[in-house]
Amino acid sequence: MLYFDLAVIFYILSFLLLIVNFHFNKMMLQALQTVFTGVAALANIVALMLHWQDMRQLHSYSIFDLMVFVALALAIVYLLMNLKYKRPYLGLFLLPMIIIAGLVALFAASESPADNLSFAMDNLWLYLHIPLIVIGTAFFLTAFATGLMYFIMEQQLKKKKFGKIFERFPSLDMLDRINRAALYIGFGSYTAGILCAAGWVSFRVTHASLFANNPDLGASFQLKLFFAMLVWVMLGIILLLKTKRGMTARQTALASIMGFVAVLFAYAAVALFIVR
Amino acid sequence: MQLSILGLNHNTAPIAVREKLSVPEQELAQAYKKLFADSRVIEATILSTCNRVEYYIVTKEDVDILDAIATSCGINEQTLREHSYIHCGSNALRHMVAVASGIDSLVLGEPQIFGQVKDAFRFARDHGSVHAYINRLEQFVLRTTKKVRTDTGISENAVSVSYAAVDLAKKIFGSLADKRALIIGAGEMCELAVEHLVGAGIGGITVTNRTLSKAEDLARQFAGKAVAFDKFADSLHEADIVISSTGAPVAVVESGMVKRAMTKRKREPMFFIDIAVPRDIAEDVGKLDNVYVYDIDDLKQVVEANRKEREHEATKAIELINGAVIRFEHEMDSLAADPLIVALREQTLSVFEQEFQKYCAKNPVSEEEKEKLMAMCNAMANKLLHAPVKSLKSYVGSGGSYSMAEAARLLFNLEK
């Protein structure tokens, strides 16, 4: 917990520094902000590993685990995207998401003790499924952020506002490139995650007796899988349209925002189900 | 050594006077020869650009460089006095960096002057008019100018209409390498815009004009293609960027035309720059999705905002230059101690060497012991010299007046 508290503090500091640098635009501040994000991500990794060690198995059933993982995946995607495209101001949208995930995790941890896990979850398919879906989600969130940035930047250009946003935000073309990359990688990761879930379902069918005492557990994963499949199919259609019909950058940005809403819907439903 | 600058620029002298003093590259040798005819001049560099002419002169002591330069240029001394400025010492150093950084330029922060200053130093070296002082000065000016450029935003953001148009295009398309521009009109403004687009690496240029031959001339100049004015609408969809500057009394690009082009190009973004008055692009074109239209007033607004930003950065640059000049002067002062330090070291080592030889002549000393004794002598010499060397470097340029006893205390770092 201590490490995760530290991670959240550094994520918040990194976000504050990014806002300050949005005004001043200094290389030194930028470098410091990247270091803060890196430190936060490291603390996040340590927190996750120590938690796994405490529980003596990888588990991803509680909201705490899920949100710690989402925060980490988003932070890593942000660092990677920044490394490749050198566009730190993506963080104006990604860091608040990371901070929200972190705060939700801390709140969830204090509200309820960590779940005792069913040994039925201790299966390779599930170990792969959850990280892949979370990483996929992190990329979709990135696509959502760039989609939002695209529309903001477009408005600046249309309304001829030459302020800080106009100066600092990437070009429309760059936003489209980041958006596309995030959508494709996210879709790939989601696809792999869903295939792993299918593997887990087949495991469940062949070991039905493991679930005999806990029918809710099986039902929850069926529902989760259903929503994940829904999002996957929808995003698959968007990417298919983009590839085959040649969607414009603007349409792709819009699709990314719709994709995010769908993911949010799926997670909200899953969270409600888990809370219940 | 005394550094003095005599110069005149766009603020101080009309072009007729600047012309008289300007020194084309092919006449530099002659100009340096005339300068060095005055025996007081030790080192010199001439910077001659379209907006300024400056002489950087190094002399042994204070001299009236106005008279030296007026004589060498064959210009009336009174005229030169009226239109020129003279800087000496720290002011001269500050001025040199301000010039090289573009702070003193007609267009604040313009980058070309840096290259011209570098060339001036190079030409001076080629003509043998540069020695130790200007060599160090050159390093200082270039180093500080680079720092000014990287640490401040003095050269960031476009301050001309054509540059602003290219910058805006980059905000939409990122790289222009795979983009095509259509130029409607073949006047001076269009030519300037094309120059900047080509400089920014545009993928291709198409030119159209009511007089086709003019369009062909401009297209040829930039390896582009020309289309007839009544046919340009058919190729509008190929253009990502459209720059228009015709004298037409009504709009030449209507929204229907752009809508058709957008359909053909699958709604990929289009950027229109309208630098004509009255405007060439119909007002409703800008309302179309993925279409961005900027007129001359919009571009001027960008330029004005950028200019203010550069002025703000110039204040930071001046602070940075002031700090650098103080450090450079200190560095130069401590260099003046170098010959003294060398002489002191040689004398001390020679005393040790003599005493060592005397000792070896009187006493049987093995080779191994000789080496050890020599190492000890060197160590003692270094220890003895440490305090005076440090004091010499610190106080050589201080210019204070001390009694012999005070000087000795300072030199050997002795307690009172």
Question: Is B377 within a domain?
Answer: yes
Q: How far apart are CA A180 and CA A185, in angstroms?
A: 9
Question: Is B234 within a domain?
Answer: yes
Whether B100 and B135 map to the same domain: the answer is yes
Which helix (H) or strand (E) segment holds residue B56: the answer is strand B52-59
Whether B365 and B253 map to the same domain: the answer is no
Whether B150 and B223 map to the same domain: the answer is no
List the single residue in A with minimal CA-CA distance to B168. A157
Quote the tokens at residue A61. Answer: 């059933």
**CATH classification at residue B71:** 3.30.460.30
Q: Is the pLDDT of residue B96 over 60?
A: yes
CA A34 to chain centre: 19
Dihedral pair phi/psi, residue B243, rounded to 5°: -115, 125
Give B174-201 as a DSSP string.
S--TT-EEEEE--SHHHHHHHHHHHHTT
Whether B272 and B175 map to the same domain: the answer is yes
B50 is catalytic: yes
Question: Is B306 within a domain?
Answer: no
Q: Is the pLDDT of residue B249 over 60?
A: yes
Whether B339 and B202 map to the same domain: the answer is no
Supply the ipTM of this predicted assembly. 0.82
Whether B321 and B339 map to the same domain: the answer is no
Whether B144 and B282 map to the same domain: the answer is no
List the single residue in A with minimal CA-CA distance to B268. A248
So what's the pLDDT on residue B414? 83
Option in B153, B174, B305 nearest A174 (CB): B174
Nearest to A252 by CA among A236, A262, A241: A241
> Domain of B380?
335-412
**CATH classification at residue B247:** 3.40.50.720
The nearest CA of chain A is from the CA of B267 a distance in Å of 7
**CA contacts within 13 A on the Cβ side of A258:** 14
Average pLDDT (B356-376) is 88
So what's the pLDDT on residue A32? 95
Nearest to A201 by CA among A233, A224, A230, A178: A224
Question: Is B304 within a domain?
Answer: no
The nearest CA of chain A is from the CA of B301 a distance in Å of 9
Q: Are A113 and A43 in contact (CB under 8 A)?
A: no
Whether B12 and B103 map to the same domain: the answer is yes
Strand partners, B180: B204
Quote the tokens at residue B258. Answer: 């752009």
Count up the domains in chain B and report the number: 3
Whether B368 and B408 map to the same domain: the answer is yes
Question: Is B305 within a domain?
Answer: no
Question: Which range (A14-23, A26-35, B64-73, B345-354) has the least confidence?
Answer: B64-73
Q: Is the pLDDT of residue B158 over 60?
A: yes
For chain B, what is the mean pLDDT? 89
Q: What share of chain B has pLDDT > 70, as a percent? A: 99
**Domain finish residue from B326, B361, B391:** B326
The nearest CA of chain A is from the CA of B167 a distance in Å of 10
Contact A172 B267 (CB under 8 A): no
Based on DSSP, count helices (H) and strands (E) in chain B, helices before strands: 15, 10
Question: Is B274 within a domain?
Answer: yes
Q: Is B52 exposed, middle or buried (0-12, 13-18, 19+ CB in 10 A)?
A: buried
Whether B182 and B295 map to the same domain: the answer is yes
Dihedral angle over CA of B63, B69, B74, B80, nearest 10: -100
Strand order in the sheet with B85-88: B41-48, B52-59, B2-9, B85-88
Q: How far apart are CA A128 and CA A273, in angstroms?
A: 21
So what's the pLDDT on residue A119? 47
Whether B180 and B251 map to the same domain: the answer is yes
Residues with Cβ within 8 Å of B334's Cβ and at least 6 positions away in sequence, in order, are: B393, B394, B396, B397
pLDDT winner (highest mean) among A54-58, A193-197, B92-96, B336-340: B92-96
Whether B133 and B168 map to the same domain: the answer is no
SS3 (DSSP) at B279: coil
Question: Is B180 within a domain?
Answer: yes
- Identify the segments of chain A with pLDDT beneath 70: 1, 56-61, 110-123, 204-225, 227, 263, 266-267, 270-271, 273-276
A172 chain-B contacts, CB cut-off 8 A: 171-174, 269
Residues with Cβ within 8 Å of A131's Cβ and at least 6 positions away in sequence, in order, are: A69, A73, A193
* A248 close to B (CB below 8 A): yes
Quote the tokens at residue A26. Answer: 């200094």
Render pLDDT for B266-316 as a digit per residue (tens, 0 to 9).
899 999 999 888 899 999 999 999 999 999 899 888 888 888 888 989 999
* B85 close to A (CB below 8 A): no
So what's the pLDDT on residue A62? 74
Based on C-alpha coordinates, what's the Rg of chain B? 32
